[in-house]
Structure 1
Amino acid sequence: MQLRHPGLCDSIGPASQLADFARRGIYPDQPLPAVPLDAGLTYIPFQYLKVDRTDVQVFSSLEKALRGSNPSRSLGTGYIFVSYTDRYDVEGKVVYQIGPGEFIRGDHVSRISTPTYRGMLFSMTPKNAFGWIMTTVNSYVAPGYNQPMTKNVYYRYQIVQIYDVDKVGDFEWYMVGPGEWIEQRQVAVVQPDIEKPEGIQGDKWISINLYEQTIAAYEEGELVFASLVSSGLHGWWTRPGVFQVYKKLVADGMQGAFEADHSDFYYLEDVPWVLYYDEDRALHGAYWHNNFGWQQSHGCVNLSPADAKWLFEWAEEGTWVYVWDPSGETPTDPETYNIG
């Protein structure tokens, strides 16, 4: 059956359906012109500990830490992660060295595994929108939860192409294959757009979609990279606008508290692959969570370590950053924002 010229196919029956699939780009199936980032980019030159209790004591020597005597300070109270250089196991007691002349006991901290999720590198701009599945979900035979489910199950971080969109009630539904529809809240979408946003002057720019929690990087009129992010939570929004990267750091410490009683204090050592672009707001790797695609931060844009490393190597000081929210829900009044 010819599909080179779909308009010549019969208008009814299987031929009509195949012609419709060809028009939508479903048939013949064309994979995205993309590959995952190299797995080697997941490497971070640091090892991390999560502090599991309040006021963990810091000692000036290994011996003092083993005895638990004469602490020099404490790590305080809050959401705290530290990096360590060495681990000592002495007669069943574990001690970590977290800096020159600084040691903590291992019974009040836990080692963490860093996220291995990776975004996608593109060889050309794809024809269709695409996105990542956010949670395990079945597809439906047609738009709407009143329709029968298919037997196909989609899983977290699985990538789908979007061939058509229909709205049922308050939400859009995406066609992800023949007779397969998934509701929009289950997918974080990138709609490739090679047109420069207003205010962008260079040939390289980063586009951050706050509604979808996705990022796309463009160079010389083509999409080159896309992935998931975690931007600011409600009240700690990531500010929309056009910015430029003004500082690159292999790693930086980050801390803060917003409540009067500092009950929300956080302290994060050696945050990797940092691109500052809007006062104290930055794109950077996040080793302390794996919730990419959901709002998570106090205003920065969190990426997986692999994504942050790739972006750090690709971007330069001066690279443009476009932050936008197509829903209009993120405040744009400058008075809403502090330095970050």
Structure 2
Amino acid sequence: MALDALLTSAPQVASTLSRRGFLHMAGLGLLTAAAPAGVVRSAPAETWQARVAYSYGVKVRREPHLKGEELETLGHDALRTVQEVIVSEEPVHNRIWYRVGEAEYIHSGGLQPVATRFQMPLLSLPLNGALVDVSVPFTDMHTRPAFKASRTYRYYYSCTFWVGEIAEAEDGKIWYRIDDDRSHLSHWGLAEHFRPVPEHEMAPIAPELEPERKRLEVDLARQWVVAYQDDTPVFMSRASTGLTMGNGESMTPRGRHKVFYKRPSRHMAAGDSASDGYDLPGVPWCSYFTTTGVAFHGTYWHNDFGRPRSHGCINLPSEAARWVYRWTMPVVPAGEHLVKDNPGTRVVVT
């Protein structure tokens, strides 16, 4: 199947999407590619939610375009119900807008599609802990399993973490201890806000293929990633690669690489987060292909795929990053936190 065929066979946006379908399409970054300009997608009976992902907030406009009248600014982490999905004419790289009220529209780039799904707490843990993802828009972490304890971090929908301990508080609430893989400090959060990731969602995809039969191609100009088995494209996703440096080159290194280091969760941080730095716990589904730390990974701090945004990594919707994690080699053994120094799937960046 040619790449053009893969593009035209991408799942189409149905006239009425379920919340699960909406999250799936947003998670693959296909909403923009799947619909012609001007099409309005109706909201289903069940509600969709979106969280303001940008720290500086987002503009609510009267019309779904960048010159639409500004009505208000929503602050970081504000939640809104999505009533319709609009395919506008702009911006060109991401034409999706969400209607959140009567004549109230927000560009999707600054909104993370989220859900609220409370979980039954685990009663016990495997030897190496349990991998979980956040199943609510956000949850606040604490120094001890108590609401009155100092808050440490706020974790966001789709972030992944390893649970190291289960505790019951005096009020009967069950809490999980998350051991930070970067600082090695412990953070406690309500167990009902974390979903245990089932084994089938981490199982390798097409593991029977020899490593040389798989490759990932990253197109910096088009801002997309395509997976090939032999010469057949089997998966694609929009992406946000590295920003352009002063010399005109991308911060994502061009050339031929190999995935050699993978982990389902990583606390990524560098520099001063008040300026150009970042501090991002629980980055999901990381597949590294350079020794300087460039990786494919999930993204919860923006939803604006289709243009360069990163310090070099390949930002993907989290569902797409999980597919890449499962499909690429080397394989992380079940229950293990990572695999390293084991070159596997080829990566070609052009």
- The answer to whether the superposition gives a TM-score over 0.5 is no
Report the TM-score, using the length of structure 2 for normalisation.
0.42
